[in-house]
Every structure is written in C-alpha cells, then in structure tokens.
Structure 1
Amino acid sequence: MTYPQQQRPAPVYYRPVPFSGLAIAGFVLSLLWGFGFLSLIGAALAAAGIRETKRTGKRGRGLAEWGLGLGILGSLWLVYLVGTWVIGTTT
C-alpha cells in the first residue's frame, strides 16, 4: 500500500519589526551629557520614542526608557553646573 506524497507547506517569511528612530536618536543624544542642551533634546526625543513604540508596536522601548532616564540625569547635571557657576560668580 502506498501513500500519496504529502506536500510541504509553503514557507512563511516574517518581516522584522523595525526600530523606532526617535528612540534611537533620544538614547544617543542623551548619552552626550557634556554638551548640555543635547541631553534635554535627547530626553524629549526619548519621550516621543516611548509614545511611538506604544502606538505603532515598533521595537526600541528599552532604548527610549534609558534615553529618557539619561536625559533627565543630564539635565539635572546641567542645572547643577549652571547653579554652581551662578553662585560662584555672585559671591
């Protein structure tokens, strides 16, 4: 008794989910603490990246969260530096 030859199912190709460009840009700019206002811009882009990853399902939410945290720390560092400069020049 012979069995009919079974056909293999057609291969399924999955498209990779793209990364959020806002999340990447926010993370990279937040890493640049020494340049002051770039960390502020990085924090804003990272916040927009978090919203984009929620809305569209793109990858990069972790990068955006780290970018937001580093951007906030960089902004606090900028406030500290400006504050110490102002206090040092007024006394």
Structure 2
Amino acid sequence: MAEIIFYYTVKGNSEVDDFLQLLDDKAVCGDMKAEKHLEDIDYTFQRVEDGMPHSRPLRGGLYELRPGRLRILYFRWQGKLVLLTVFQKSTQ
C-alpha cells in the first residue's frame, strides 16, 4: 500500500485529517456509525490499487477514493497518496 499524506493549507489546516480525527473521537465515545466509517475507509485504503469500486480516476490526475458513501479526493505524488478533501455523496 502506498504511503498516505494529508494536504495542508498555508494556515496548517487539513480537511481530511480533521474529518478522520473527528470520526476517531466519535468512535472512541461509542459512536457505531463513526466506527463503521473508519472501518470502510481503512478497507478502501488497503485496496486503493485495485481500482473500481474502491478508487477511480477523475481527470487532471485526480482520483476518488470511495469508502461507502464517503468520497475522498486525492492525487499521486512521488509514490504517495495526497488526500485533498472529503465529502459525503448525496445522490446516485
């Protein structure tokens, strides 16, 4: 599996890192939905090289990681996956 790094803004913010930390905090407090999201994300990262349905190319060198209804946009840089943003898919 490729090394994963987070994209940070000039102000030191990382949307994906913040989101994952929030999920982890909720899971520690017993939130089963947050725990399931973390399991889905981990499973998907382990299979990122397999392509669909876990990951798919978009355009311009961007890719979409697809754990459940979540979407994490990333690009490849020097053999690493750089995670840019995260959102929840709301439509089919």
- Report the TM-score range of the alignment, normalised by the length of the smaller protein: under 0.3
User: Quick check: which one's helix share is greater?
Assistant: 1
The normalised TM-score by structure 1 is: 0.28
Structure (1/2) with the larger strand percentage: 2
**Normalization by structure 2: what TM-score?**
0.27
